[in-house]
Structure 1
Amino acid sequence: MIKNLLPMAALFLSTGFLMAGGGMQNILLPVRGQLDGFSSSQIGLLGAGWAIGFTLGCIVVPRLVRRVGHVRCFSVLASLLATVMLLYGLYVDAQFWIILRAVAGLCFAGSYMIIESWLNEKITNETRGAIFSTYMIITQLSMLGGQYMLVVADPEGQTLFMVGAILFALAVLPTALSRAQSPAPLTQVSLDLKGLYVNSPAAAVGATICGTITGTWTSFAPVFGAQSGMSLTDIANLVAFAMIGSIIFQYPMGRLSDFMDRRYVLIGAALCGATLGFVASQITVDGANPGIVFYALMVALGGFIYPLYAVIVAHANDYADSEDFVKTSSSLLILYGVGTMIGPMVTGNVIGIYGPNAMFTVIGVAHLCLAGYVGYRVIVRPRPRNIDTLDFQAGPLAKPQTPESYALDPRADSETYAAENE
């Protein structure tokens, strides 16, 4: 096991630095924006800008890598991330930050894809599961660690922006100094949205709604904490506990979906998420002492936010040909990206009118819409009796997926990956 992981040590180290910087950035910017008087709609546009950049990066970066190579491209993207992090602190302006967030989203997408393509090049079908699991653990722990860096210094100062820039700069070193050969060209995003909707309407619509939910939570959970008067530590706890809940719930939810129509699991999970969202919207949080009940509620709610998308990916691929795994998952990725653009923009306006607790209302309504549509699809098209399903595979919850994430997934064997990458 360790022998198989050692050749990937440099890549795992780069991943750790990158995810730690990303985790800190995701929680720092909404908090700093709130402190500097950004409106809720402006903070929502920060999240939408990041989603636009990330989705665009999945399309553009593979072409850039083909021209200049993996090492140079990764070094440029990580350096841009460090530069963007410093620019946030140098000039605090909502419109400027929206542009920077779009640039950061593109850079993150490209950096993830390059690291994941390197990993995919080094693994075999026999080691794919172990390496994918290790990658998941590193991404999630690094993201959690980055979120807690919020408490290191005053978010109104420059220190945290400099720390973030250092983390992104450090991410360059392991890959730049590695003697590993450059991998095959990156997976081009191959879209078949019409085919996806025909094969699995529940997955197509569900991916968009899941993106709306995740985008809302990621952009506005720190804002909710700041507006509720929470300390920096409690804001970090709020975000981290939801992530912990997703880690706890993901595998049981996914394995349950292996033994029944996955749509029933989606309906049940969405109804639970809607209930928790509506309950949370009615709670008045004591910023000085949120309490164990509130944090327990956040753990449970997180368990019904992040894992839904992994079940949707599994459901969509149940109805697709096995050789189309990466294509189907990449199409879902684009729809998910559209949702992460919509969610923050809608939620920002709603919070501006009704206050921070409206974030939970939006999350509850979105879960309810998901349950309603998937329930409608169950009635319209019952599950075929002889469908050949793929086993559920947990995915990295701390970061958005890329086409290379799906190529790395154990359900996409190396032959399929090579065929789709030609």
Structure 2
Amino acid sequence: MSKKNRFSVMPISSLFFSITFLAIGYGMVLTFIGVYLKKNGINDISIGIINACFFLGAILSSIFSQSIISKVGHIRSYTNFAALMVITFLIQYLFFNEFLWGILRFIAGFCYFSILIIIESWLNEKSTTDIRGKVLAIYEIIFYLSTALGQLFLTVDDLSSSIFILGSILVLVSIPSIALTKIKEPKLLPFERYSLPKIYDIVPLATTTSFIGGIFIGSFFTMAPVYVLEKYHSVDVVSYFMITVILGGLLAEWPIGIVSDKYGRRKIIAIVSFITAISSSLFLFIGQDTNLLYGCAFLLGLTIFSLYPLSLARANDVLNEDSDILEISRTLLFTYGLGSFVAPIIVGFLFKYYNDAMFIMYALIGLFLTFYSLSKKRVADDELSTFVNMPLASGADIAHLDPRVDENNN
């Protein structure tokens, strides 16, 4: 390989350094919120609503943050959003009020996903078409492993609300490498209004899959810890449960991508959804055995994290040359965000009636998507696009990092 084409991570290492600490804090605090609220006697409906506020902030970030970043600049936007996140953490450490926490989680969600937009746009600026897939792969691996690492902090004895202090430190550590970066600031495209009915008409299976993927991930990170804590009364079990699911997701991404490239997205979405339904049903029969819990958690992780990348791949399979892949990718991410937003609220209400309700919901939704997927038209082998892995959480600018966008535009 010539020096000209050799891939080096050094020019963007500062971005990966920052995302490492942000993702550790993201995974740690997102899981901790539900655990802390449950331990303090807050009802499940309120826990669901407070957690949903975080994803509402994420949705509005995809609409409004790009204009802020374009006017203020990437570095100043990053430092301001990071400072606001730290402020929300510190206020949560000092004051405990459900309504106040809902507002603070909304602000944190807006700031966090705005930061992801900044980092992703920088990664896109420094990535040529030839290496964009590699950059996205590194981004994904860092995000998965850092989010898993964040779960380990929950096992520290007597840490309790000091998690917010630790989260603040992690966010602050990410700032200097960004504030001192010399990477050229890219121009962000303005937000374009999404037409969900229009996109659904073009890519119905992709739209449905992304929405359901959002339901799975949004409820898993926010309400699964509540379920495990209620059943096993151990924060350590919550931590190991979350780590097991996340690592299962990381290990499954590449094999699922390879298989779906060979056999088509429709069949693989159906198989993944069916396995999700089966693994979710197993939670109803495991009793208090933690080994069975971790085994079921790993099976669940193998499937739920792959639905959103599969939805993007399916959209790329069926689009014609005149379609705007960037608009559709952003719309699918928006749909994924909507699923993540409604999921904690729905599960919070369901928990009021039955503790295992979340996994019954998973099983029913998985079965629905199985048959819905098989009812859709098959794409010919020679028209299949390439599967591209995606990180656990991403901002609205992630679509620019998808190498298929360049292929579609060429």
Q: Classify the TM-score, shorter chain.
A: over 0.9
Measured at CA, do residues 383 and 4 of structure 1 come closer, stay the same or move farther in structure 2, by a change above 3 Å?
same
**CA distance, structure 1, for counterparts of residue 127 and residue 286 of structure 2:** 48
Residue 42 of structure 1 deviates from its aligned partner by 1.0
* Aligned mate of 2:212, from 187, 209, 212: 209
CA contact (8 A) 2:277 2:362 kept: yes
Summarize the alignment of residues 348-367 of structure 1 with structure 2, pairs less than 5 Å apart: 348-355=348-355, 357-367=356-366
Question: Which one is further off, 27-36 or 173-182?
Answer: 173-182
Letter in 2 for 1:362: M
Q: Deviations over 1:254-298 (max 9, x none)?
A: 221112331111111111111111111232225xxx12x321211
If the length of structure 1 is used for normalisation, what is the TM-score?
A: 0.91
Letter in 1 for 2:219: T
Residue 85 (str. 1) matches residue 78 (str. 2) = no
**Aligned position for 1:25:** 29
**CA distance, structure 2, for counterparts of residue 75 and residue 414 of structure 1:** 34
If the length of structure 2 is used for normalisation, what is the TM-score?
A: 0.93
Summarize the alignment of residues 273-352 of structure 1 with structure 2, pairs less than 5 Å apart: 273-286=276-289, 290-291=290-291, 293-321=292-320, 324-352=324-352
**Aligned position for 1:388:** 383
CA contact (8 A) 1:58 1:189 kept: no
Letter in 1 for 2:390: G
**Aligned position for 2:128:** 124
**CA distance, structure 1, for counterparts of residue 183 and residue 138 of structure 2:** 19
**Aligned position for 1:411:** 404
CA contact (8 A) 1:212 1:366 kept: no
Residue 248 (str. 1) matches residue 243 (str. 2) = no
SS of 2:158's equivalent? Answer: coil
Letter in 2 for 1:339: G
Measured at CA, do residues 165 and 336 of structure 1 come closer, stay the same or move farther in structure 2, by a change above 3 Å?
same
Residue 20 of structure 1 deviates from its aligned partner by 1.0
CA contact (8 A) 1:238 1:298 kept: yes
CA contact (8 A) 2:25 2:167 kept: yes
Q: Deviations over 1:95-152 (max 9, x none)?
A: 2111111111111110000001011101111222222221112111111111211123
Q: Deviations over 1:165-201 (max 9, x none)?
A: 1111111111101122222225635524233212221
CA contact (8 A) 2:280 2:296 kept: no
Summarize the alignment of residues 122-201 of structure 1 with structure 2, pairs less than 5 Å apart: 122-156=126-160, 158-186=161-189, 188-189=191-192, 191-201=194-204
Percent of aligned positions that are identical: 29
**CA distance, structure 1, for counterparts of residue 91 and residue 118 of structure 2:** 24
**CA distance, structure 2, for counterparts of residue 130 and residue 316 of structure 1:** 21
Q: What CA RMSD, in Å, does the superposition of the two structures yield over aligned residues?
A: 2.0
**Aligned position for 1:62:** 66
Unaligned runs of 5+ in 1: none
**CA distance, structure 2, for counterparts of residue 267 and residue 245 of structure 1:** 19
CA contact (8 A) 2:78 2:115 kept: yes
Q: Deviations over 1:202-258 (max 9, x none)?
A: 112222222112212111111112112343222111011001111122221222111
State how many pairs are aligned: 405
CA contact (8 A) 2:70 2:187 kept: no
Residue 164 of structure 1 deviates from its aligned partner by 0.5
Residue 163 of structure 1 deviates from its aligned partner by 0.7
**CA distance, structure 1, for counterparts of residue 379 and residue 385 of structure 2:** 15
SS of 2:304's equivalent? Answer: coil
**CA distance, structure 1, for counterparts of residue 287 and residue 362 of structure 2:** 17
Letter in 2 for 1:270: S
Unaligned runs of 5+ in 2: none
